[in-house]
Each structure stands twice: as structure tokens, then as C-alpha cells.
Structure 1
Amino acid sequence: MANLAGSALAREGRMDPDSSRPRGVTQGAHRLHEASRKQRGRREEEVERGPGKRRGADMTWQAARRAPVESIASADMDFNQLEAFLTAQTKKQGGITSDQAAVISKFWKSHKTKIRESLMNQSRWDSGLRGLSWRIDGKSQSRHSAQIHTPVAIMELEIGKSGQESEFLCLEFDEVKVNQLLKKLSEVEESISTLMQPA
């Protein structure tokens, strides 16, 4: 039955007369063989050149293409800045081509928000303060009887990393420690204000 079907396909020109496979399968196998032979030839050339030369060339090419994207991301460029930057890169010796600039521009416009979020998440390597609550209590126990019933501040800090469960830290401050904390926070505030002043 298979031979009858094969001879019918051969008569219609859809069967390779030299084998029992349909013509498309034979042509596909031939193309695959040719591609494999060409790839083998390229590999042999790479072996003759040495792996270091090829890898070095690939790394140089990747670094040259990655540098503009890293600059765009670190500067968080808007679209006008992006176009000016890419135009300058295309005019630079050894820079990018206009086609590459178009691809980078389209990529940045499509993925700017995701890239920014990713960079922000990567820059937060430690836990952050998610919440703070406090209350004033009277001390009920102490080694010294004079400290019993003195007011203390109970502060609960909610700390956690992005995407993870929070941890809670409970601190107890007497009047002296509250004053020390306020002094340090005042110093932090002054430092931040100084850094935020325009130059």
C-alpha cells in the first residue's frame, strides 16, 4: 500500500525518484545539510583564528553596543535627550549606526519604565523602613526602684525588603535616649538639606 502511494506521488512530481521520501522532505534535508556544512566551516575558521580573538571581538562589539544603553539608563534620559544623545553617537568615530540608534530608541521608549524600576530595585540592597508606630508607657520593671513608673517611649519599626515579608523591631527609649535620637535625626536632616541645595 505504501509503495502504491509512493509511486503515485512520484508520478505527480511530489516524490523524490531517488528515495522513498516526498520531495519537500528531501529538499529540506539537503538545505539542513548545507547549513550544517557551512556552520562547520565557520567553526573550523574560528579554531584556526583562536578562541581568544573571536571572544575578544564579540566582547568589544557587545561593550560598544551596551555603553550607549547604560548611559541612557543611568541618566534616565527623556525622549529629547535620547534623540540628541543617539544622534551624537552615530556621528562619533566607532559609534553606532543609524539603524542601531533607531532600535535603541524604540527599545528605550517601550521599556523605559521597566528599566527604571529594575535599576531602582537593584539599588536597594538593604531593608527599608516600611512603617513606624510609637506610644508612651510607664516603666514597670527596673533594676533600680527610682526608674519604675518613669515614662518611656516604645517605638515599633516595620522593616523589610521589596517583595519580602516585614520584620518588626521594638525599641524602648528613656528621656535621655530620646534626646540623643532627636539630636542625631536633626544632624541627618541638616546634611540632607545641605546636599539638596543647588550648587
Structure 2
Amino acid sequence: MAEQSSKSLSGLLGGLAQIGYYQSSGITEQMLKDELYPELPQQDFKIQLEKMGGILRSIASADMDFNQLEAFLTAQTKKQKGITLEQAEVFTKFWKAHKVKIRESLINQSKWENCLRNLSWRVDLKSQSRYLDQLNTPVAIVELELGKSDQESEFLCLELDETKVNQLLKKLTEIEESIGTLSYTN
């Protein structure tokens, strides 16, 4: 009976991950109940779903490492109306298998705008120009690939002369210094 209970919980966690983190439209809460807990009354299933879903959300939102997970699950087993040791083991196995994928999903869900996918650059010499003094001057060609994970990329190509490159480097240095003052350095 305990093995069946562990399999059902494992399936429930997988289903909750599909619904909440992997955006799978083919899985519903009712389907999980029908497949995994057919004899359980609807109200009891709702309680089980909320309890296990809440624990999974806590683990995922904290992006727990395995030491944190162990401490958290141990605390959950000691709570009144908490989880059993067998259920804690199922959570541990589940988290080992899904941690990276759930983390990536949460990161992608938190992006509002395009992100930088790739950057390439080269330095060329101008071979044509309206002005003779600009011939054979170095020019930096920067290509940025921008996009969201679920969309096609957009490409932005920039041509920068020496002055613009120096301005860009100065701005990047300012950004780096700002980040350095805001971050915790030990």
C-alpha cells in the first residue's frame, strides 16, 4: 500500500510540475484525481492537492539545494498534519529529477522582455565613405541576437567608430561599478 501511495504522490508531483512549471495544457487537476486517486473523495483530494502543491511551491520558489530540502522536509514531517517520511522521500527523489528544469522554467516565466541570446563582434576597416579622411579607419561591427525562449530571434547590428566604442566601454564600466556597489561582496 505504501508503494502505491508513493507512486501516486510521485505522479501528483509530476502533474503539478506539468501544470505549474512546464505549461502543459493536457493535464488537469481532475485528470490527476481520476488517474491517481480514484477512490479518494473530491474534498480529500483537494486538501491533498493544496498541501502537496504548497510544499512543492515552497521548494521551487526557494530553489532549495539538497541540504535545505532535507531540513525543510524534516520540519514538514514533524508538523501536525505534516507529511510522512515516505512522502518526504518522494519529494526528495522528485526534486533531484526536476530541480534544474523547474528552475529554468521559473527563470523563463520571470522574463518580461527579450534577453540577449548571443553577441558577436569584429573590427573592420572602412573601405568606402563619403569623406576621404574616414577611409581605412577601424570600425567595430557588433551583432546582438535578442529574443525570448519561445520566440524567434531578432538581430540588431551596430557599427561603432572608435569614439562610440570608448563611450560604450565607459558606460559598461559604470554599470559594472553600480552592480558592484549593490551586490554583497565578502
- AA of the residue aligned to 2:104: E
Deviates more, 1:168-177 or 1:90-99: 90-99
- TM superposition shift of 1:119: 3.0
Residues in 1 aligned to 2:51 and 2:180: alpha-carbon distance in whole angstroms? 39
Residues in 2 aligned to 1:109 and 1:158: alpha-carbon distance in whole angstroms? 33
Give unmatched runs, 5+ long, in structure 2.
1-37
Corresponding residue for residue 185 of structure 1: 172
The structure where helix makes up a greater share of residues is: 1
Corresponding residue for residue 172 of structure 1: 159
Percent identity between the two aligned chains: 58
Q: Does 1:156 align with 2:115?
A: no
Other structure's SS at 2:185 match = coil
**CA deviations over 1:103-143 (Å, ceiling 9, x no partner):** 3223213322332333344345523231311213227334x
Give unmatched runs, 5+ long, in structure 1.
1-38, 47-53
Other structure's SS at 1:132 match = strand
When normalised by structure 2's length, the TM-score is 0.58
Corresponding residue for residue 118 of structure 2: 130
CA contact (8 A) 1:136 1:152 kept: yes
CA contact (8 A) 2:119 2:142 kept: no
Residues in 2 aligned to 1:119 and 1:132: alpha-carbon distance in whole angstroms? 28
- TM superposition shift of 1:194: 2.9
Residues in 2 aligned to 1:102 and 1:155: alpha-carbon distance in whole angstroms? 50
Q: Does 1:86 align with 2:73?
A: yes
- Runs ≥4 residues deviating over 4 A: 163-166
Aligned length: 145
Q: CA RMSD in A?
A: 3.5
CA contact (8 A) 1:139 1:147 kept: no
